[in-house]
Structure 1
Amino acid sequence: MAASNYTARNLSVLEGLEAVRKRPGMYIGSTDSRGLMHCLWEIIDNSVDEALAGFGQSINIILHKDGSVEVQDDGRGIPTDIEPRTGLSGVEVVFTKLHAGGKFGGGSYNASGGLHGVGASVVNALSARLDVQVDRGGKTYQMSFRHGIPGTFASSRTPKPDAEFTPFSAPNDALQIVGKAKRGVTGTRVRYWADPQIFTPDAKFSYEDLTARARQTSFLIPGLRIAIRDERRMPGTPGEFESHEEVFQHDGGISEFVDFLAPDSSVTDIWRFTGRDTFTETVPVLDSNGNSKLQDVERECEVDIALRWGIGYETKVNTFVNIIATPKGGSHLAGFEQGLLKTFRKHLADNARKYKMGNDKIEKDDVLAGLTAVLTVRLAEPQFEGQTKEILGTPAVRAIVSKVVSRELAAKLKSTARAEKTQANALSEKVAAEMKSRISARVHKETQRRKTALETSSMPAKLVDCRSNDVEKSELFIVEGDSALGTARLARSSAYQALLPIRGKILNVQKASLTDMLANAECAAIIQVIGAGSGRTFDVGAARYGKIIMMTDADVDGAHIRTLLLTLFYRYMKPLVEAGKVYAAVPPLHRVEIVNRGKANEMVYTYSERELNQLLKKLEDEGRSYKEPIQRYKGLGEMDADQLAETTMDPRHRLLRRVRIEDAEAAERAFSLLMGSEVAPRKEFIINGAHQLDQSQIDM
């Protein structure tokens, strides 16, 4: 019965911008802060496209106190003459007609981010008010809209979205001349108030996202000046107490962008790969009668890539199409990764003996480890997957980018120039080592299970394991030397405390390659015993112990060993440090035996010269005596087992220092300075701090 009531009257036809207001998520993704920012990107991208085309050198973005946002540029200005098909001015066409703009035919923009012609009109439809002013031909034109409908607002000292609004009855009256522009001055100013009926109440413009986008764009278009002014006085923002303005302008290109993004010390210099190629694309073309027919069109694709590899294992690849970010990649990223993998596989296969490759093949993750890159392609009318432009879909771009990367990278790897040859060898060793580390981690993960003192078949023979299977309560003491191991074995609680001795000073992994680190017996033993892998394969949840405690002598050599261990943890097991699972034991420096008349003498331990002096002064003031000489511990091996247990290993009495990374950037600089391969900065650091050294504290 219900089926018979379903007639043509039940069908809805949404005209013009009604569809946008009815289904905003279809056009901007969501109606929260993310969708609000997407609207702003659409307006900014129109100004950026003008600069990209060579028109305009500055963009100003103002976040007004009343919640509106304004974007100003000095481009050519939106056309103000009449568009013949619609009989409307160019300004009205751009802001009221879906799929209308200057980026379809290719005559106005050879490469742009706005392609679908819906950006400005969608923003207009979702705005309670939008005002646009255009400087062009010596005149200033103005048009206002409410919900995408052109009209006039009641005049007031400050523009308001809820002011009385009167729609225009005659279309040709919509664009008004409101002033004169200076000779030669052109540009567009757009100010809009997002409609609170569309967006959620908590939707806000993100100042951090805005500055990040502005900085990124200034790198991609050298010389473009982008100024952001925040007048909102919002808590938690730089402009919380007064209006705040930042200006971004970079005269360099994407090479500087890579240098800005790089998180670690370099293995290679910043390399620049460029190239271009053409492809044929079959697209629908409208004839003069409005009929669509398929036609083959030749396109040109320009590729520009800046990249470098660092000593770390994190990957940072930013991709762009006509300077519009594509955070989810697409055909250009696929071609980039394909070119890298193909070239490295061939190069390492040709030099398999040199890099000890065996029969194993590298994978994509091995090549991408430590890579920082900015990939840009420019082409007319790229195919994006959706209006949000997060994925490039043009298939032909993949082969073009892959070809450019393969050609340029192969030239770098085969270069005979001394500097490039050295970097190519270091990079190849890094990629080969990443492969070996991945394979080792996979084999270890497949065979891994918790080992105890009765079951240590896959663990190093020198490991003295504990009995407990409770990871959170178990502790691994990394002990300096076999003599200290003997004392620690008697002092420990075998239920939950494991011991791993190391012989002297381990490898400085800040200087060494990944291959050298894995080949070092002490480093390999530590990684194997902790059991959570290393580098990008490290899984803190797989660690076999809840605490990793470095127990070294309280002297200069002990401090050096502790620093080398920390370098290993920071460089290859960083999540362990970030999780607060790495500690340094604090053994005492002195033992003072205080004489007590009529009862047993009292033993007191001190941990610094200052603490010892304070204790001796206190005893003198109280008239108490102590036995001479005071025992000074030169190493852990000098302690009896009960002394070591009481002072350093027993949780009821011991003192541990937890290692934390409060400032990752400062930590990176410190490790690079103190443990890195560059001698000159370290020498300068030592000379500048020499006056702080107390020579009497040095053991001769």
Structure 2
Amino acid sequence: MPSTSRPDEPRTYDARSLMVLEGLEAVRKRPAMYIGSTDTKGLMHCLWEIIDNAVDEALGGFGESIEVVLGHDGSITVTDHARGIPVDTEPRTGLSGVEVVLTKLHAGGKFGSGSYGASGGLHGVGASVVNALSTRLDVEVARNGARWTMSFQSGIPGTFAGDGPDAPFTPGGGLVKSGRVPKGTTGTRIRYWPDRHIFLKDAKLSLADLHNRARQTSFLVPGLKIEVTDERGEEPSTEVFLHEGGISEFCEYLAQDQPLTDVIRLQGHDTFEETVPVLDEKGHMAPADVTRDLGVDIALRWGTGYDTLTKSFVNIIATPSGGTHVQGYDRGLVRAVGKALEGTRLLKSGEEVSKEDILEGLTTVVTVRLAEPQFEGQTKEVLGTPAVSRIVTRVVESELGKYFSSPRRDDKQASRTVLEKIVAASRTRVQARIHKEAQRRKNALESSTLPAKLKDCRSTDVDKCELFIVEGDSALGTAQRARNAEYQALLPIRGKILNVQKASITDMLKNLECASIIQVVGAGSGRSFDVDGIRYGKVIFMADADSDGAHIRTLLATLFFRYMRPMIEHGHVYSAVPPLHRFELINPKKGQEKYVYTYSDAEYERKLAEFTKKGIRFKEPQRYKGLGEMDADQLMETTMDPRHRTLRRLTLDDAEGAEGVFEMLMGTEVAPRKEFIIDGAYRLDQEHIDI
């Protein structure tokens, strides 16, 4: 094929045109190949590589504590009290073990030498990559009764004449014995300064991510203490993470809803054959069959909610994108539940459950341990070892089957509750699909499935349509006369709806008021909720401005938070703000409104003071105790007319915090709610209480 080139381009292409990157040069040239990116994620990945090396020692039974320090000078220090990096000479390279680990890619003790049975770092590039991407790295090893030290600049060994990465540097030199340590003292201390020319300017270490990772690791390695110190602020802060309960305690920590079961532990062990390339006596690569040991340890717990959370790990490395171990877990879970349901009469003819139904409200920690697992890439986000899936499936199916068939009274009751929840989730999913197909706006008026008490609007424009959920039939009559029937719909509720924070899904679906609200919104509920299927762009709670009205708004908010949360996340849920007081002016001047409304006690006091100061006369102010006290014109003007009303939008900036508040206000535990009420009572001004 003919080619074209500009006159100023070189026309030669031979071996001299090829670039060969030696050693760690390749890492500095293409860092994203090794750490994923050069932003905050890549910066944190470097820290994980060093921490994971220390944790691997703890996994092997060496060292019970790790200290991490984020220095005020931009340095990062990781100290362990394990065996220490080997300081003797590696025979093939003639270098010390420390220099081999920190300068040679694919070098380490995790390639089948027997030093590690299960580890997180496997490719042998972690520490050397961090070294290559650091302007300075200092390593200190306590071993054989001596302290050994060595420094590097961008992966090149040498000596710094001073502290910090900007100190004068002289290349050359090796591992130096710098002092003695007490007998039996061992460990490794690595301090490094990331190269800010490689990482993006806005790449910053995340203390929150570090705390989460340290907490996670302390759960996965029971008894390991991880101490994190941040010296970057005005006042240094230290957090210590230590958990003895293992992944059972981790599962309880992760679960945000009320439990239906205790934490169920599924454990098993098996071996499998794997063909791997190994070096023969002549130094050639040859395939060989190796027997691998696989340990499976899973903790799971069903709760009353519908959210699913699965955390998976290989050795102690998180695999956020799953892999063969999670595939095996899913398959075993479906099989075990399917067999358990066969022995009951919960499913009617033609009904079936899906994986999504089983996962509803399920929190799981999946861990497997094996030597030399196959990951997809250095970032280790997906496990690829094929044989793991089969073994995990067998363990889950067998051990979970034992739980469902357990003769223990508590286990039988809990497993029955779980199976009922799964069947209810299946029926909810089917109902949601029917709603989605049958209750679209275009045929809503012809449909007989919508509640008769719904006073619908005429418009089919979802973004414009509003649904007012109104407390009581009396307020409904006033609201019906006050609304704009073109785009404002009304749904009355009778009194206080079911507290869904305490009730089961089945009870919620049986409740007429809850079912009507879900039906009218038209997008399903729970995991099957589809925000694209909603029939109204705004759902507005309209209740009296008293304690009962506040309770009703809280109950409605709980229903939407638990079963229609995307409505809140997408900003579709509001609370109306009706006025508390009305001033009727006597002989108002031109341009003055005859009626002035205030929406809080503070605003009432300001208006009262303003009118008194200006000599504006008014009749005795009216205090509204409910929506029914207003006539249609007043309700329209103050609460429903978009030109004058005030709405409060429900938002979800902190889902975990919101979950805690709902559980405290509406959950089964009485003590936290009582404490909240008592604490609030001391701050209440008794003069503002209506008697």
Same fold (TM over 0.5): yes
Task: Report the more deviating stretch, 290-299 or 577-586.
Answer: 577-586
State the Cα distance separating 1:655 from its structure 2 match: 4.9
SS of corresponding position for 2:277: strand
State the Cα distance separating 1:102 from its structure 2 match: 1.1
State the Cα distance separating 1:437 from its structure 2 match: 2.0
1:344 corresponds in structure 2 to 337
Structure 2 contact 433–524 (Cα < 8 Å) conserved: no
Q: Does 1:530 align with 2:530?
A: no
Distance in 2 (CA, whole Å) between partners of 1:336 and 1:618 is 69
2:95 corresponds in structure 1 to 88
1:521-547 CA-to-partner distances (Å, cap 9, x unmatched) read 321221121123222333444432232
Q: Does 1:142 align with 2:142?
A: no
1:521-576 CA-to-partner distances (Å, cap 9, x unmatched) read 32122112112322233344443223222233556654443333222122212232
Task: Report the more deviating stretch, 269-278 or 635-644.
Answer: 635-644
Q: Does 1:405 align with 2:396?
A: yes
State the Cα distance separating 1:585 from its structure 2 match: 3.6
Seen in structure 2, the aligned counterparts of structure 1 residues 578 and 94 have a Cα distance that, compared at 3 Å, is: closer
1:256 corresponds in structure 2 to 249
Task: Report the more deviating stretch, 640-649 or 281-290.
Answer: 640-649
**Counterpart AA for 1:414:** S
1:583 corresponds in structure 2 to 574
State the Cα distance separating 1:7 from its structure 2 match: 4.4
1:17-45 CA-to-partner distances (Å, cap 9, x unmatched) read 33333333222222333223222222221
Structure 1 contact 474–496 (Cα < 8 Å) conserved: yes
SS of corresponding position for 1:507: coil
Distance in 2 (CA, whole Å) between partners of 1:556 and 1:64 is 52
Seen in structure 2, the aligned counterparts of structure 1 residues 357 and 348 have a Cα distance that, compared at 3 Å, is: farther
1:205 corresponds in structure 2 to 205
1:367-425 CA-to-partner distances (Å, cap 9, x unmatched) read 22222222111111111111221111111111221222222222222233333233222
SS of corresponding position for 2:322: coil
Task: Report the more deviating stretch, 10-19 or 285-294.
Answer: 10-19
State the Cα distance separating 1:634 from its structure 2 match: 6.8
Seen in structure 2, the aligned counterparts of structure 1 residues 307 and 6 have a Cα distance that, compared at 3 Å, is: same
Matches within 5 A, 1:426-437: 426-437=417-428
Q: Does 1:370 align with 2:370?
A: no
**Counterpart AA for 1:190:** I
1:445-469 CA-to-partner distances (Å, cap 9, x unmatched) read 2344325885555532322111223
Matches within 5 A, 1:601-620: none
Q: Does 1:511 align with 2:484?
A: no
Matches within 5 A, 1:39-50: 39-50=46-57
Distance in 2 (CA, whole Å) between partners of 1:558 and 1:638 is 14
SS of corresponding position for 1:269: coil
1:171 corresponds in structure 2 to none
State the Cα distance separating 1:682 from its structure 2 match: 5.3
**Counterpart AA for 2:33:** M
Seen in structure 2, the aligned counterparts of structure 1 residues 71 and 457 have a Cα distance that, compared at 3 Å, is: same
2:225 corresponds in structure 1 to 225
**Counterpart AA for 2:217:** T
Distance in 1 (CA, whole Å) between partners of 2:175 and 2:618 is 99
2:8 corresponds in structure 1 to none
Matches within 5 A, 1:64-75: 64-75=71-82
1:320 corresponds in structure 2 to 313
Correspondence for 1:58 among 56, 65, 74: 65
Seen in structure 2, the aligned counterparts of structure 1 residues 668 and 166 have a Cα distance that, compared at 3 Å, is: closer
SS of corresponding position for 2:455: coil
Distance in 1 (CA, whole Å) between partners of 2:27 and 2:168 is 23
Task: Report the more deviating stretch, 501-510 or 269-278.
Answer: 501-510
Distance in 2 (CA, whole Å) between partners of 1:242 and 1:584 is 42
Q: Does 1:215 align with 2:215?
A: yes
2:325 corresponds in structure 1 to 332
Structure 1 contact 83–89 (Cα < 8 Å) conserved: yes
1:221-280 CA-to-partner distances (Å, cap 9, x unmatched) read 12222222333x3xxxxx2x2333332222331122222222222222222222211112
1:547 corresponds in structure 2 to 538
Structure 1 contact 317–374 (Cα < 8 Å) conserved: yes
Structure 1 contact 349–357 (Cα < 8 Å) conserved: no
Q: Does 1:461 align with 2:469?
A: no
- Structure-2-length-normalised TM-score: 0.88
**Counterpart AA for 1:194:** P
State the Cα distance separating 1:301 from its structure 2 match: 0.9
Structure 2 contact 67–79 (Cα < 8 Å) conserved: yes
Q: Does 1:167 align with 2:172?
A: yes
State the Cα distance separating 1:333 from its structure 2 match: 0.9
Distance in 2 (CA, whole Å) between partners of 1:195 and 1:511 is 53
SS of corresponding position for 1:374: strand
1:98 corresponds in structure 2 to 105
Structure 2 contact 149–178 (Cα < 8 Å) conserved: yes
Task: Report the more deviating stretch, 315-324 or 570-579.
Answer: 570-579
1:163-218 CA-to-partner distances (Å, cap 9, x unmatched) read 232324xxxxx222111121111111222333345333443333222222222112
Structure 1 contact 345–361 (Cα < 8 Å) conserved: no
How many residue pairs are counted as aligned between the two chains?
Answer: 680
1:292 corresponds in structure 2 to 285
Correspondence for 2:134 among 116, 127, 132: 127
**Counterpart AA for 1:117:** G
Distance in 1 (CA, whole Å) between partners of 2:678 and 2:576 is 30
State the Cα distance separating 1:366 from its structure 2 match: 1.7
User: Where in structure 1 are there 5+ consecutive unaligned residues?
Assistant: 169-173, 234-238
Distance in 2 (CA, whole Å) between partners of 1:527 and 1:332 is 37
Seen in structure 2, the aligned counterparts of structure 1 residues 590 and 418 have a Cα distance that, compared at 3 Å, is: farther
Seen in structure 2, the aligned counterparts of structure 1 residues 504 and 203 have a Cα distance that, compared at 3 Å, is: closer
Structure 2 contact 160–167 (Cα < 8 Å) conserved: no
2:161 corresponds in structure 1 to 155
Distance in 2 (CA, whole Å) between partners of 1:472 and 1:267 is 39
Distance in 1 (CA, whole Å) between partners of 2:581 and 2:48 is 66
1:266-311 CA-to-partner distances (Å, cap 9, x unmatched) read 2222222222111121222222222333222221111111221222
RMSD of aligned residue pairs (Cα, Å): 3.6
1:192 corresponds in structure 2 to 192
Distance in 2 (CA, whole Å) between partners of 1:538 and 1:432 is 17
Distance in 1 (CA, whole Å) between partners of 2:689 and 2:72 is 61
Q: Does 1:36 align with 2:26?
A: no
Distance in 2 (CA, whole Å) between partners of 1:97 and 1:379 is 25
SS of corresponding position for 1:544: coil
Distance in 2 (CA, whole Å) between partners of 1:178 and 1:378 is 38
Seen in structure 2, the aligned counterparts of structure 1 residues 539 and 280 have a Cα distance that, compared at 3 Å, is: same
Distance in 1 (CA, whole Å) between partners of 2:608 and 2:201 is 67
Structure 2 contact 278–287 (Cα < 8 Å) conserved: yes
State the Cα distance separating 1:645 from its structure 2 match: 3.2
Task: Report the more deviating stretch, 549-558 or 203-212.
Answer: 549-558
Distance in 2 (CA, whole Å) between partners of 1:54 and 1:20 is 32
Correspondence for 1:20 among 4, 17, 27: 27
1:121-179 CA-to-partner distances (Å, cap 9, x unmatched) read 222233333222211111122222333333x32423x24355232324xxxxx222111
Task: Report the more deviating stretch, 55-64 or 679-688.
Answer: 679-688
Structure 1 contact 452–469 (Cα < 8 Å) conserved: no
User: Where in structure 2 are there 5+ consecutive unaligned residues?
Assistant: 5-10
State the Cα distance separating 1:589 from its structure 2 match: 6.7
**Counterpart AA for 1:184:** G
Matches within 5 A, 1:564-583: 564-583=555-574
State the Cα distance separating 1:67 from its structure 2 match: 2.8
- Structure-1-length-normalised TM-score: 0.87
Seen in structure 2, the aligned counterparts of structure 1 residues 358 and 592 have a Cα distance that, compared at 3 Å, is: farther
**Counterpart AA for 2:263:** I
State the Cα distance separating 1:588 from its structure 2 match: 5.7
